[in-house]
């Protein structure tokens, strides 16, 4: 074959004849390497799969020719049969193979794992095929579920496909680029992943087949994840998993057999496919073998769950490929930097991992709610940016499943994409950019963090301020302020009375996360600045990491007032503190500043002041002098004008700060001084008796009124939005301003059909307080939707274990008002329950791993069918999401017929289209197209009748 003159970019038309032999019938599939057509072989009158190269790249041409030559040499009933190969009239290489109807093992495993008998039968069939290839010196190098086809959907019909990157002993290595990795991460052998071509032989295929067998038996990949770096790290750094860790009932000898196939050292594996067959025969013949006596393993929703995870990834830029191959960033860090790295990760609950390519990962999951977690991760990313000025630092937030020591899921891919962008820009000679964050993280970060847009979906994290003065933005503009006018007016009146009245006031505003406390604080401060230009504002914030640490809350306010930021030299911090004190207090400023330095963690030299020197020698004296210095400072500050101390998140405050502020409020009765506290509702649990005996005005923020919520939607999305689209957003937000803003953002960005990760993360924090067994029950229930049935949940949880979960936890969930019992159910003799709130259901559903979600929908469909479900659309939806397209098509047809009979032609057209999109067989396809045609005629007739009616009225 010669190199093609052009690539095949457009699908060929039916009837086109290739090489005067193969007549195109239809497009079957397309991918990165080419396009596959169903075609008629005129020479034999049989159907063939005709593969055409889609890339003119010489290396791709070589690989394509290589596959054709290998298939021509192979003649085995378990390997797809070669028919012919050549070039088209346009010079594009083609390869004709036998046409196979069926499904890939990948598609089968997406629905359900294989039982033991099927798993061993598949292993035997694949080993026979590979053994034949190995005997000819051919190593497949890409054995994986998608390359194992089950003809007719049966394991007994297995065929091995795709020898595109296979290697022959006599083939020179020009097909593989130096340093490149050929194969599929997650299934390739360790020696394949490291590019050790000299060691690569048939035992690499044995390893890959071992990974396939592990997945068939357990229903989970042996090396799990979508992020290439993470998969390679697991492959090279961790011990292979054991089947019995997931399935304790599997015989030890089978567990050992799989472990031998997955051994890191090739010498420990069977030498090739034939040796693997011999080992399997010996295992089954072994006296006392229990392979045929393994009990039935019931399919059920597992204990695995996806969690919202924030991940900081760090990779050094401008490193040579040779250095990357032998060292890692973590291994080459200076000792003081490595110590600082782990010191910054440990307090925030982050785990540190080093990947094989040198990337450092710090991951946080289950750390407070989503907003708290994102803030911690952002601080960590900023610190790492300072520690490692020559490295790219990125932060992504998303769902991941904790498996072994590394999390896997889409968040890994987001972080990888951000790192790839940083590396690309570095190669182009660009300056090192600030910390990059994704859009989910950006939405979770509040106004404290200065963030600017870099490009769509990517932002730069610049710095953290003490407390942000800017309002939260929505779609690039300050979010409209709605629905809190009465609360704002009451607060202004209280503070005006305090500034001009007989005594200071303390005000406590409480409410759940996202309800609008910070926005109310922002609007209040702006109003006070306008009314009192000379007002002094000191704003501080509690932090979950420093909760309970003496004076951490008050120290935050003093640092903000002095303009002190993290990382400044101690001498600069002292100068700023002295300057703050000097604004209102000329005398004795050194003493006051020195003791205030103890509050904010900026120590002064002992000789700075005689009384400070004495206090340094006596803890009791220091404890007396710190409050006195603060009272002196506050008296002088209040003498200059009104003073408002604002403290946010005081549920993470400390008793020392709050006691000292309470003392200042008592002792400065005649001064224009007020304290405004903002906290979550759990503040009373943190400080149950702190305000006893003192006057405290408390305000609890309730849900945002419905009318105000509707106004917010209209202001952002426009007055033209119909009420039918506004109502679901308002209903789903349940009065939570943060939820509503995120729902609005999703609609504006075209993601309105799914709940934003930001909201799901906030809901997850509530679910975190629920025991794991109860969460598993809720995840199973969520598959059915808003309502579910007791026996339906049992069907998804497995009869034995599920019965215990339902009996133990269903009453518990009802008592805590997460679920409710419905008196009149959909099915007779079936106990029906419902989620009290749609967001809880959505949060539970989002925590389902993909495999559990698909399994759950299939089991739900089967149970509903048995229970007597008559809504064909419901069954079709479940079967489609459960990976059963044939059954889904059948029920979409029924649903379309029901819609047509119910005089809903538009729904009939939509439902029929969904069935057609799933690849209906020809007879069903004709029926669905007939339904669409009938629905179109109904619409046309109705329109004509309407026109005629209007004409008669006009006459």
Among all chains, which residue has been given the structure tokens 């290396």? Answer: 59
Q: Report the run of H or E that residue 47 belongs to, with start and end.
A: strand 46-53
Q: Could you tell me if 809 and 774 are in contact, meaning their C-beta atoms sit under 8 angstroms apart?
A: yes
Q: Could you tell me if 171 and 66 are in contact, meaning their C-beta atoms sit under 8 angstroms apart?
A: yes
Among all chains, which residue has been given the structure tokens 């304790």? Answer: 248
CA 784-788-791 angle, to 5 degrees, is 110
Residues 703, 321: Cα–Cα separation, whole Å:
56
What one-character-per-residue DSSP string does 203-257 give? HHHHHHHHHHHHHHHHSS-SS--S-HHHHHHHHHHSPPP-HHHH-TTS-HHHHHH
- Interhelix angle 885-901/922-954, rounded to 10 degrees, is 20
Q: Which of 785, 780, 784, 854 is nearest to 813 (CA)?
A: 780
Q: Is 62 exposed, middle or buried (0-12, 13-18, 19+ CB in 10 A)?
A: middle
Among all chains, which residue has been given the structure tokens 């029920």? Answer: 891
Residue 829 is given by DSSP the state: T
CA dist list (Å): 529 to 524, 639, 643, 645: 9, 18, 11, 14
Residues 90, 869: Cα–Cα separation, whole Å:
55
Residue 738 is given by DSSP the state: H
Q: Which of 475, 411, 481, 401 is nearest to 443 (CA)?
A: 475
Q: Which of 341, 365, 367 is nearest to 354 (CA)?
A: 341
Active site annotation includes 142:
yes
Residues 6+ apart with CB under 8 A from 392: 314, 315, 316, 317, 419, 422, 423, 426, 432, 433, 436
From the list 57, 75, 115, 142, the catalytic residue is: 142
- What φ, ψ does residue 81 adopt, rounded to 5°? -85, 135
Residues 495, 675: Cα–Cα separation, whole Å:
9
Q: Could you tell me if 935 and 905 are in contact, meaning their C-beta atoms sit under 8 angstroms apart?
A: yes
Q: Which of 577, 565, 679 is nearest to 633 (CA)?
A: 577
What one-character-per-residue DSSP string does 298-360 give? -----S--EEEEEEEEEEESS--HHHHHH--HHHHS-HHHHHHHHHHHTTTT-EEEE-TTS-E
Residues labelled catalytic: 142
């Amino acid at each position: 074959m010669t190199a093609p003159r052009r690539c095949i970019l457009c699908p060929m038309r039916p009837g086109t004849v290739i090489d005067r032999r193969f007549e195109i019938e239809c497009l079957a599939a397309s991918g990165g390497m080419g396009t596959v057509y169903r075609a008629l072989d005129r020479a034999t009158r049989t159907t063939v799969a005709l593969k055409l190269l889609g890339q003119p790249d010489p290396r791709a041409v070589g690989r394509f020719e290589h596959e054709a030559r290998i298939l021509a040499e192979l003649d085995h009933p378990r390997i797809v049969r070669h028919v012919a190969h050549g070039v088209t009239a346009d010079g594009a290489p083609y390869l004709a193979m036998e046409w196979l109807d069926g499904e890939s093992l990948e598609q089968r495993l997406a629905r359900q794992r294989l039982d033991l008998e099927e798993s061993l039968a598949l292993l035997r069939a694949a080993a026979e095929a590979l053994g034949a290839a190995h005997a000819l010196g051919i190593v497949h190098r890409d054995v994986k579920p998608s390359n194992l086809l089950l003809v007719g959907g049966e394991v007994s019909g297995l065929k091995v496909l795709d020898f595109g990157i296979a290697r022959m002993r006599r083939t020179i290595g020009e097909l593989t680029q130096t340093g490149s990795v050929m194969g599929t991460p997650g299934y390739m052998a360790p020696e394949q992943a490291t590019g050790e071509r000299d060691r690569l032989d048939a035992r690499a295929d044995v390893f890959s087949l071992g990974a396939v067998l592990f997945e068939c038996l357990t229903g989970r990949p042996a090396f799990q994840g979508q992020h290439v770096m993470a998969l390679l790290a697991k492959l090279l750094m961790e011990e292979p998993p054991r089947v019995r860790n997931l399935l304790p009932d599997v015989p030890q000898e089978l567990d050992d057999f799989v472990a031998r196939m997955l051994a890191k050292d090739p010498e420990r594996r069977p030498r090739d496919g034939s040796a693997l067959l011999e080992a399997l025969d010996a295992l089954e013949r072994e006296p006392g073998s229990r392979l045929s006596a393994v009990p039935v393993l019931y399919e059920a929703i597992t204990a695995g769950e996806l969690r919202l995870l924030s991940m900081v990834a760090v990779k050094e830029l401008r490193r040579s490929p040779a250095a990357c191959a032998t060292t890692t960033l973590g291994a080459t860090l200076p000792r003081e930097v490595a110590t600082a790295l782990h010191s910054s990760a440990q307090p925030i609950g982050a785990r540190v991992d080093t990947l094989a390519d040198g990337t450092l990962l710090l991951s946080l999951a289950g750390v407070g709610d989503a907003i708290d977690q994102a803030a911690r991760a952002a601080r960590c990313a900023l610190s790492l940016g300072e520690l490692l000025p020559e490295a790219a630092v990125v932060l992504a937030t998303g769902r991941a499943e904790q498996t072994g020591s590394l999390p896997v899921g889409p968040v890994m891919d987001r972080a990888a994409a951000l790192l790839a962008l940083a590396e690309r820009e570095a190669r182009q000679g660009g300056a090192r950019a600030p910390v990059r964050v994704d859009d989910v993280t950006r939405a979770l970060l509040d106004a404290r963090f200065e963030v600017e847009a870099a490009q769509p979906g990517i932002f730069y994290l610049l710095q953290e301020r003490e407390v942000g003065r800017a309002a939260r933005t929505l779609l690039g503009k300050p979010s409209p302020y709605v629905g809190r006018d009465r609360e704002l007016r009451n607060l202004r009146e209280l503070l005006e009375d305090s500034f001009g009245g007989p005594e200071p006031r303390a005000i406590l505003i409480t409410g759940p996360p996202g309800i609008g406390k910070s926005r109310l604080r922002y609007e209040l401060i702006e109003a006070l600045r306008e009314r009192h230009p000379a007002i002094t504002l000191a704003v501080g914030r509690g932090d979950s990491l420093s909760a309970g640490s003496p004076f951490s809350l008050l120290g935050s306010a003093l640092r903000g007032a002095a303009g002190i930021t993290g990382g400044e030299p101690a001498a600069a911090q002292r100068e700023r503190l002295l300057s703050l004190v000097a604004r209102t207090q000329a005398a004795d400023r050194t003493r006051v500043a020195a003791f205030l330095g103890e509050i904010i963690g900026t120590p002064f030299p002992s000789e700075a002041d005689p009384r400070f020197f004495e206090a340094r020698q006596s803890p009791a004296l220091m404890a007396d002098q710190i409050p006195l210095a603060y009272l002196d400072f506050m008296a002088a500050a209040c003498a200059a004008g009104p003073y408002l101390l604002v403290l946010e998140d005081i549920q993470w405050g400390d008793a020392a700060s709050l006691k000292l502020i309470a003392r200042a409020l008592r002792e400065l009765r005649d001064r224009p001084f007020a304290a405004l506290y903002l906290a979550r509702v759990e503040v009373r649990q943190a400080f149950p008796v702190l305000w006893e005996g003192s006057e405290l005005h408390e305000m609890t923020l309730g849900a945002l009124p419905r009318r105000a919520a509707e106004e917010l939607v209209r202001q952002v999305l426009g007055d033209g939005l119909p009420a039918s689209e506004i109502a679901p957003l308002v209903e789903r937000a349940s009065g939570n301003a943060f939820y509503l803003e995120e729902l609005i953002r999703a609609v504006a960005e075209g993601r309105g059909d799914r709940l934003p990760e930001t909201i799901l993360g906030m809901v997850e924090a509530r679910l975190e307080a629920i025991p794991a067994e109860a969460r598993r029950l809720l995840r199973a229930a969520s598959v059915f939707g808003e309502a579910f049935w007791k026996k339906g949940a049992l069907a998804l949880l497995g009869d034995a274990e599920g019965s215990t979960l339902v009996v133990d936890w269903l009453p518990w969930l009802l008592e805590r008002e997460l679920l409710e019992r419905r008196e009149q159910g959909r099915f007779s003799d079936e106990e029906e329950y419902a989620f009290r709130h749609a967001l809880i259901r959505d949060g539970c559903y989002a925590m389902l791993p993909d495999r559990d979600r698909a399994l759950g929908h299939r089991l739900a469909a089967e149970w509903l069918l048995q229970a007597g479900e008559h809504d064909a659309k419901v069954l079709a939806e479940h079967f489609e999401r459960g990976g059963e397209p044939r059954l889904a098509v059948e029920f979409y047809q029924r649903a379309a017929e029901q819609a047509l009979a119910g005089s809903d032609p538009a729904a009939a057209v939509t439902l029929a289209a969904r069935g057609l999109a799933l690849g209906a067989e020809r007879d069903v396809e004709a029926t669905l197209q007939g339904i669409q045609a009938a629905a179109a005629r109904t619409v046309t007739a109705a329109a004509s009748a309407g026109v005629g009616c209007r004409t008669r009225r006009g006459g």
